[in-house]
Structure 1
Amino acid sequence: MEIEITEDTFGTHPGGPDQEPRVVQRYTMTNPANGFSAQVINYGATLTSLKAHNRNGILDDVVLGFDSIEGYLENTTPYFRGTIGRTAGRIAKGHFTLDGTDYQLSINNGENHLHGGFIGFDKKMWEPSISGGRVVFSYHSTDGAEGYPGDLFTQVTFQLTTFNQLIIEYQAIVSKPCPVGYTNHTYFNLAGHQNGDKKLAGHFITINADDITPVNPVDLIITGEIAPVEGTRFDLRGNPDLHALLQQYPEGYDINYCLNMGDQQVYNARMEDSESGRVMLLTTDQPGMQLFTANGFPEEGAPPIVGKDGANYFKHGAFCFEAQNYPDAVNHAHFPTAILRPGNIHQHRTIYAFATMQK
């Protein structure tokens, strides 16, 4: 049975310095055999909902977000959006040198450049279409946008499968050499988005990575090292209790893992919720994955972020699995290259697969 795709509207984007007011389109992909579904909008090429089964067959939305476009426009700091680009993560001082030319990017995070700048791809209106059972979003970033060289043409494709998978694929070409590296910044809570005040209670995590790229704790800029996780709080290879770790380390996690790649890896990362029985597996062709535990959400006692259906979201109420290249790779020659050149195609594929486990 084929996946069904329907289209409706999600409000109106008011426009901005380089954008006209536009209706926001929403696409719902559903497996009619079991109800597994996902919703995406063309503002930011954003995943706004994903309904997965618990062990009793009950569907629940495991993606944090908002009921209308206004929520996404108002809550800009936590990056409640889908597609991050042109580059994910921080670039130190917003500066890099490429082929002998110095480039200065916009500075939007302290003294650094973060997630594509002030108006990154997560804040753009994309051109939507439906093709071959997939929802495709396209965007043209012009030469000089946020300081990046060259025109860049991007397509992001969302596909739901009958195997309870959400596949996200990225393709890009450029007119000049340019750093390119996307990710998806969806906030998940496998107990359901309405549990965004429970600090990921019941969540157990596995990341198949022997190393991380450490950061300066002050500004979270990559140091350039590749350091082993063995014997540190970053060793998540043994399915530890993430809630317990967050209680022990209240600063949370915001770190890039150097994924173990190869045919022997059934998955790169895994999260399970012991209460609902939901399991999410991530597989990717990218060398890294940022684990982020919603550290910037409000502390308990402060006014919460109010999400879908009036749910309250607090610090450590969700997690992100952000498949990506290593942050600041453009400034570290020993990291996997971030440079895309004319005539080449950037391709990136990440799969989020959902299953259930019994008690």
Structure 2
Amino acid sequence: MITNKTLFDTVNGEPVYKLSLTNANKMTISCLSYGANWYELLVPTAAGPQNLLLNFAKIADYQTTNQYLNMSIGRVAGRIGKGRFKIGEHDYQVAPNERGNTLHGGPHGFNQINWDSTVVANQIIFTHQITSTDDSFPGDLDVTLTYTLTDDNQVLLDYNVLSHGETVFNPTNHAYFNLNAGDENIKNLELLLKSSHRLALDTEKIPTGKTLVNTDTPYGFETKKTLGAAIEGLQNIPEKGIDDVYLIDRHADNDPVAVLSDPDSNISVSIFSQRNAIVLFTANGFGPDQPYLTKTGQPYVGVALEAQTAPNAIFDHDYGDFSLQDGERQHYQTKYQIRF
């Protein structure tokens, strides 16, 4: 395994590091300390290394045009309506950052942190203690985020936490994939997603508590189909694409919950998760203001597949429980199998 750690940029006078791992098959992953960002997923091709992720040249581009691109997301992925929730009998109000709601951990979430970082053996490791003073959530968290690269072309993302006080923890990674070698959008890519239902959302994208059927609709990917077919079937809705919480159907532990593939190159990314939801977002409103290194900013330039616990678990424990008590530890893992 080849490892590397170099200076990438600075933020608020602090160095931002780029950390890289290259396995025996010449596949490379790189991360940035700012946001514990998954910066590159490079696979070898006849034309040279191809990045399967969108990325920017400098930190200012993330801060000004797309603050969640490939970032680690926490404490809580998704939206908390009006920033209000309960743990047991205790009511909490956290800082909002989107129309009065709290999105992706609020204005001081994981994506805003310049993490302590190291690269050891086949792992990139990020650590940080986030306090209630930092982000307005109750309790303090000791967080370790680990990216592991294996020689069979797997990337493991592990989220480990120790809670000091009661709190909530529902992290994810907001990676945007585009498997095309050229400057194309993602409509030609094929997706298999093992989900027959999605959460009903209100006009502010807050779960209503109800579910909707995906099967035999443009939202359905239980049988592999192109993202373009789904997008074309949704041109009559305001978003003109997908930004939805998919509930994962029961499946064998060794089966992927989603497979994204390029039928031309046979490059694919299979996602394995034991959590009960994936947010699928087809970058519907992205535009030329976003200066990607290898792609033109445009609608459908990438696709995000964010494994997490269903966000309505915060008010309905039939969908899970991501609250933590004082002294409690929690661990989640998402695995990506890359084929090329």
TM-score interval for Structure 1 and Structure 2 normalised by the shorter chain: over 0.9
* Aligned with 1:125 (options 105, 109, 114): 114
- Does the alignment pair 1:26 with 2:18? yes
Structure 1 stretches lacking a partner, 5+ long: 15-20
Correspondent of 1:229 among 214, 217, 223:
214
- The C-alpha deviation readout for 1:263-315, integer Å capped at 9, x for no partner, is 265210011112222111000121111111112312xxxx4411115x42211
Partner of 1:11: 9
Task: Give 2:286's aligned residue.
Answer: 297
**1:57 shift after superposition:** 8.0
Tell me if structure 2 keeps the 8 A contact 1:129–1:136. Answer: yes
The letter for the 2-side match of 1:307 is Y
Q: CA RMSD in A?
A: 1.8
TM-aligned CA deviation for residue 199 of structure 1: 3.0
- Whether 1:39 aligns to 2:23 is no
TM-score scaled by length of structure 1 = 0.89
Letter in 2 for 1:8: T
Give the match for residue 263 of structure 1.
Answer: 252
Q: Does the CA contact (< 8 Å) of 2:215 and 2:222 recur in 1?
A: no
What is the deviation of 1:131? Answer: 3.5
Q: Name stretches of at least 5 consecutive residues in structure 2 with no aligned partner.
A: none
Letter in structure 1 aligned against 2:77: A
Write the distance in 2 (CA, Å) between the matches of 1:265 and 1:211: 21
Q: Does 1:73 align with 2:63?
A: yes
Is residue 355 from structure 1 mapped to residue 339 from structure 2 by the alignment?
A: yes
**TM-fit CA distance, 1:42:** 0.7
Check conservation: 1:85, 1:121, Cα contact below 8 A: yes
Secondary structure in structure 2 of the residue aligned to 1:173: strand
Q: Supply the distance in 2 between the matched residues of 1:100 and 1:345 (Cα, whole angstroms).
A: 21
Counterpart of 1:146, as a letter, is: D
Tell me the alpha carbon deviations over residues 165-202 of structure 1, each in whole angstroms, 9 at most, x when there is no partner. 1111000111111111000001110114x63xx33132
> How far apart are 1:220 and its partner, in Å?
0.8
Q: What is aligned with 1:181?
A: 170
Match of 2:320 in 1: 336
Shift of 1:58: 4.9
Cα distance in 2 for partners of 1:34, 1:57 equals: 16
CA deviation profile, 1:37-96 (whole Å, cap 9, x unmatched): 111011000011111245x6853111101122232222245x113200000000111101
CA shift in 2, pair 1:234/1:226, >3 Å: same
1:210 alignment partner in structure 2: 196
Give the partner amino acid of 2:174: H
Structure 1 residue 151 and structure 2 residue 143: aligned?
no
Question: In structure 2, what residue type is equivalent to 1:30?
Answer: T
Give the whole-Å Cα distance in 2 for the aligned partners of 1:214 and 1:350: 25
What is the total number of aligned residue pairs between the two structures? Answer: 336
Q: Give the corresponding residue for 1:219.
A: 204
AA aligned opposite 1:213 = L
Aligned pairs (5 A) from 1:282-321: 282-298=271-287, 303-308=288-293, 311-321=295-305
**Residue pair 1:144, 1:150 contacting (<8 A) in 2 also:** no
Counterpart of 2:50 in structure 1 is: 60
Q: Which segment is superposed worse, 251-260 or 40-49? A: 251-260
Secondary structure in structure 2 of the residue aligned to 1:72: helix
What is the CA–CA distance in structure 1 between the aligned matches of 2:312 and 2:194, rounded to whole Å? 22
State the distance in 2 between where 1:76 and 1:272 align: 25
Q: What are the superposed Cα offsets for residues 126-161 of structure 1, whole Å, 9 maximum, x if unpaired?
A: 111233421110111112433210111110000111
